[in-house]
Copies of this chain bind each other. A is one copy, B any other.
Amino acid sequence: MKFNLNFNDIPDNYLFAEVADRVAAYTKAHPDKKVLKLGIGDVTLPLAKEVIKALHAAVDEMGSAATFKGYGPYEGYEFLRSAIKDYYAETGVELALNEIFVSDGAKSDLGNILDIFSQDNTVLVPDPVYPVYVDTNAMAGRKVLFASATEQNNFLPMPDYSVKADIIYICSPNNPTGAAYSKAQLKEWVDYANKSGAVILYDAAYESFIEEKSAVKSIFSIDGARTCAIEFCSFSKTAGFTGTRCGYTVIPRELEKDGMNANRTWLRRQSTKFNGVPYIVQRGAAAVFTPQGRKETEQNIAYYKNNAKLISDCMDELGIWYTGGKNSPYIWLKCPNGMKSWEFFDYLLNEAQVVGTPGAGFGANGEGYFRLTAFGSSEVTKEAVSRIKNLLKK
């Protein structure tokens, strides 16, 4: 037996482990100090009451022979796919039911989708980036190129026709930078992909945080996207499903090449390597789209966005350059006084007992930047913001 030696080439990323270690060391040395964490990307609000109600009802169904559900459809139950279809229709995006695949999360499918593509593809990912894009391709031995995201392009890199890429990752609103592409900018990426025969893997996990009309919720609102794009969505940040696990992937029927069809090939992959998402969880996810479910989840998103505003207002007041906050739960700021990412991390931890995430951990271009998240409680966010103000006003 031979192991997959590509695993040896996966870049080690100790980002969050290193953050945890430094926080632990500080807390041990200063047991009296209260440390506030704005570093995590996990949600803190409980599931919406309407979702809880639906989960309980589904559990009861599983307890009676008459309503018990065994194996479900690989692509997900129609009741959930119809609700997703209607959600897209609200913004003018018409999908067929068989273009929607329920998943156990955007992260899983962003990795699993690579099964349907040859190893012999060149991958283009932005830098800084969510590490999963790079790691999943490194595992498969694919060549990875980086699109440089910098302050100059507001961390929204645009197509470079001199670069030949086959698989292009776009995350908008972006993790970690919070930057969101406009319709016009995404149109340029779609045209580039169609011209060069590339596929865009569009990570829309944060679409529900978008408020600006100009920003795009679905890449399928862009003309030409149906021949070049696959979209990955998640209930994790929209409805607090990080521990409940549900998402969906949209693959238009027009995405074809070499006599193969992406939609049919993915269904074949799923029917062979996946057995669907728990019925109970799919019922909970469907409840997110009911009027009451929408109302409650939107309140939760408003709560997080209010935290984001507290943080971005603070940056405005301090005159610190940043992206995100507006259409995103992330605020990506430039470390003050030319500090490096880890330098600012230590400074903030030692002087204000506030924990964030060093931008350098997301890629070379992240050096000198820092990520704060809006997923904490409003109380913690308020106190952290005032501590940051007092520290950096000096």
* A38-92 contacts to B (CB < 8 Å): 42-47, 49, 52, 55-56, 59-60, 62-65, 68-72
Q: Is A162 an interface residue (CB 8 A)?
A: no
- List, in ascending order, chain B residues with CB within 8 A of A43's CB: 70
Taken together as a complex, chains A and B put the C-alpha atoms of A15 and B281 apart, in Å, by 30
Q: What's the nearest-Cβ distance from chain B to residue A340, in Å?
A: 27
Q: Is A272 an interface residue (CB 8 A)?
A: yes
Interface residues on A, range: 35 or more
- List, in ascending order, chain B residues with CB within 8 A of A111's CB: 272-273
Q: What's the nearest-Cβ distance from chain B to residue A48, in Å?
A: 9
Supposing A63-B52, A108-B275, A273-B108 touch, asked if A199 and B136 sit within 8 A by C-beta, the answer is no
- List, in ascending order, chain B residues with CB within 8 A of A198's CB: 1
The residue in chain B whose Cβ has the minimal distance to the Cβ of A274 is B108
Q: Is A242 an interface residue (CB 8 A)?
A: yes
Q: Is A277 an interface residue (CB 8 A)?
A: yes
The residue in chain B whose Cβ has the minimal distance to the Cβ of A166 is B1
Q: What's the nearest-Cβ distance from chain B to residue A69, in Å?
A: 4
Fill in one digit per residue for A78-119: 1 if any B CB lies within 8 Å of its CB, else 0: 000000000000000000000000001101100110011111
The residue in chain B whose Cβ has the minimal distance to the Cβ of A8 is B260
CB-based contact A242/B70 at 8 Å: yes
CB-based contact B52/A2 at 8 Å: no
- List, in ascending order, chain B residues with CB within 8 A of A44's CB: 65, 68, 70
CB-based contact B52/A60 at 8 Å: yes
CB-based contact A4/B46 at 8 Å: no
Q: What's the nearest-Cβ distance from chain B to residue A71, in Å?
A: 5
CB-based contact B245/A3 at 8 Å: no
- List, in ascending order, chain B residues with CB within 8 A of A257's CB: 1-3
CB-based contact A272/B116 at 8 Å: no
Fill in one digit per residue for A250-262: 1 if any B CB lies within 8 Å of its CB, else 0: 0000000110101
Q: What's the nearest-Cβ distance from chain B to residue A23, in Å?
A: 17
CB-based contact A71/B42 at 8 Å: yes
Q: What's the nearest-Cβ distance from chain B to residue A56, in Å?
A: 5
Supposing A2-B166, A68-B44, A121-B2 touch, asked if A132 and B62 sit within 8 A by C-beta, the answer is no
The residue in chain B whose Cβ has the minimal distance to the Cβ of A140 is B115
CB-based contact A105/B7 at 8 Å: no
CB-based contact A3/B244 at 8 Å: no
CB-based contact B59/A2 at 8 Å: no
- List, in ascending order, chain B residues with CB within 8 A of A42's CB: 70-71
29 contacts between A and B (CB under 8 A): A1-B117, A1-B121, A1-B166, A1-B167, A2-B117, A3-B116, A3-B258, A3-B260, A7-B116, A7-B260, A7-B268, A10-B272, A42-B70, A45-B65, A52-B59, A56-B59, A70-B242, A70-B243, A71-B242, A107-B274, A108-B274, A112-B273, A132-B273, A136-B273, A242-B275, A244-B279, A245-B277, A278-B281, A281-B281
By Cβ-Cβ distance, the 9 closest A-B pairs, closest first, are A111-B273, A2-B118, A42-B70, A52-B63, A69-B243, A3-B260, A70-B242, A46-B68, A1-B166
Could you tell me which A residues sit within 8 Å of B by CB distance? 1-5, 7-8, 10, 42-47, 49, 52, 55-56, 59-60, 62-65, 68-72, 104-105, 107-108, 111-112, 115-121, 132, 135-136, 139, 166-167, 197-199, 240, 242-245, 257-258, 260, 262, 265, 268-269, 272-281
Supply 20 further A-B pairs (C-beta < 8 A) apart from A1-B121, A3-B116.
A1-B198, A2-B120, A2-B258, A4-B118, A4-B265, A10-B268, A42-B70, A45-B65, A45-B68, A46-B63, A62-B244, A70-B240, A104-B104, A104-B275, A105-B275, A115-B139, A136-B273, A242-B275, A244-B278, A244-B280
